[in-house]
Amino acid sequence: MSSMIDLLKKRRSIYAINKEIPVSQERIEEIVGQAVKYVPSSFNSQSARVLILFDEQHDKFWDLTKETLRKVVPEGQFASTEDKMNSFRSGRGTVLFFEEQAIIEGLQQQFALYADNFPVWSEQSSGMLQLAVWTGLADEGVGASLQHYNPLVDEQVAKEWNVPSSWKLIAQMPFGGIAAQAGDKEFAPLEVRVRVAK
């Protein structure tokens, strides 16, 4: 059985992905669902919302994103953007992470003293969920990376997949079979990043 640190070491940004995942779609759904259920949230708000796109729906998302970016990226610079979109599209699916704004706004009204903090805490909870899903996928041998094409694609996503207007898109995680491993990663010395008071 892997320890938490071993699992965190497995989690890398994998950009070379394909459609051949080593587990079933049902297993992906289980990993995401269990992460949504057990990742903490401020005041137990459970504000996380997720949309998992597989196969044609996944392809549609990255086609939509590519065409959205085509309108804002200068033509001479678009080739690299298109290559990047195609690399994400090469995967098997995408997890879209949202936060339910109606819950956050309700908490702001109920606990006015902390009103400014609830959006921050919501983002922190979403970050924990993203890490949990990413690590869970890595443990199953599924490659993934984390992307942020919101808010550029928010309107199209809401329309295409009938997403409630109160769901705020936070991040996108394309995943798939690992076509190439991540390269070596350099780490800053822990002495610079961690202090201990005894």
| pLDDT tens per residue, range 78-109 | 999 999 999 999 999 999 999 999 999 999 99
Residue 2 pLDDT: 64
Amino acid at 64: L
Largest separation between any pair of C-alpha atoms in the chain: 57
pTM above 0.75, yes or no: yes
What mean pLDDT, rounded, does the chain reach?
Answer: 96
Distance CA 179, CA 39 (A): 29
pLDDT at 187 (0 to 100): 95
**What's residue 61's pLDDT?**
98
Q: For position 108, what pLDDT does the model report?
A: 97
Burial 66-83 (b: 16+ CB within 10 A, else e): bebbeeeeeeeeeeebee
